[in-house]
Amino acid sequence: MKPPLVPLLLASLFPALLSAGTARAGEAEIRAAIAASFPGTNIVSIAKAPLAGLFEVVVDGDQGPVVVYADDAGRHVLIGDLLSLADKRNLTRERMDKLLEVKWDSLPFNNAIKLVKGNGKRQFAVFSDPDCPFCKKAEQEFAKLDNVTIHIFAYPLPMHADAPRKARLVWCSKDRAAAWQDLMLRGKLPSGKDDCKNPIDDNLALGARLRIEGTPAMIFPNGKRIPGYVDAARLEAMLDGAQVARR
C-alpha cells in the first residue's frame, strides 16, 4: 500500500517526483498524478501559482490545509515557502493565513466568557485552557490591554484531566469574567457547583472544526488567528490592524 501524502508532507519527507500520464499542463493531470502515488489524499483546490510554470495545490492535512506546488506537467511537487524577493513577501505564508481565516460572525459568542475593558470597542476571541501555563502567561498580557472586549472560549485540552471541571466551575459562577481572572491570574478556584448547563463540549467541538490543536489560540475580527502566547505589544498591533481591516 502506498503511503498517504499528507503525513509525509508534514514530516517533510515527500519525494520530489510524481509520475503523470501526460506532459500536458492542467488540473486533471496533477490530480491524477497525486491520486496515483498517494491514494486517498483530499485535494481542496488547484490553481496557478504566482510563479510561472507552477500550480498551487491545497491538500487537506490532519491539522488543516497544506499548500504545496506542482509543475505544469504534473511530474514534480515542491514543498516549501514561495518568496517574493522584490517586496520581501512570503507568498506561501500569506496564502496559508487566508486559508486559515475564521469568519468572525460565525463564532458562537454566547458560549464564551465576555471580558470588557474600557470602552470595549476592539475585540478578539481566545481559546484557553484553565490548566495551560501559556494561557495563564497570556492572561498577564491581556491585563495590560485597554478598550478591548475579550471573548474567552474555555477549551480544556485532553492532557489536563482537571481542566474541564475548572472550566465548568467558572461558567457556573455568578460573575464568569471575574471568576476566570481570579483563576488564571491569581490561582483562585471558584467555589460552588459545576453542574450547571455549560458550553464546554460545544467549545471542544468548535475548536476541532477550526483545527485548534493548542492553547492559547487567538482569533481577530478580520479572520486572522495567532496560535500560542504573544505579548501585549503584538496584541495591540493585531487589534488595531483588525479594526482597520473591518472598516
Task: Show the cell assigned to 137.
Answer: 502567561
- Amino acid 202: pLDDT: 97
Q: Tell me what the mean pLDDT of segment 152-175 comes to.
A: 97
**Greater confidence, 195 or 6?**
195
Residue ranges per structural domain of the chain = 5-99, 104-246
Nearest by Cα to 150 from 177, 125, 179, 169: 125
**Greater confidence, 110 or 44?**
110
CATH architecture of the domain with residue range 104-246: 3-Layer(aba) Sandwich (3.40)
Question: Comparing 5-99 with 104-246, is the CATH topology the same?
Answer: no
CATH, domain 5-99, list 3.90.1170.20, 3.10.450.70, 3.30.360.10, 3.40.50.970: 3.10.450.70
What gap in Å lies between CA 247 and CA 243, rounded to an integer?
7
Its pTM stands at: 0.71
> Which tens digits make up the pLDDT trace of 16-72?
333 333 334 578 888 888 888 778 888 888 888 888 888 888 888 766 788 888 887
240 pLDDT more than 80: yes
Quick one: residue 64, left, alpha or beta (phi over 0 = left, psi -120 to 50 = alpha)? left
> Which tens digits make up the pLDDT trace of 176-199?
999 999 999 999 999 889 999 999
On average, the pLDDT of the chain sits at 85
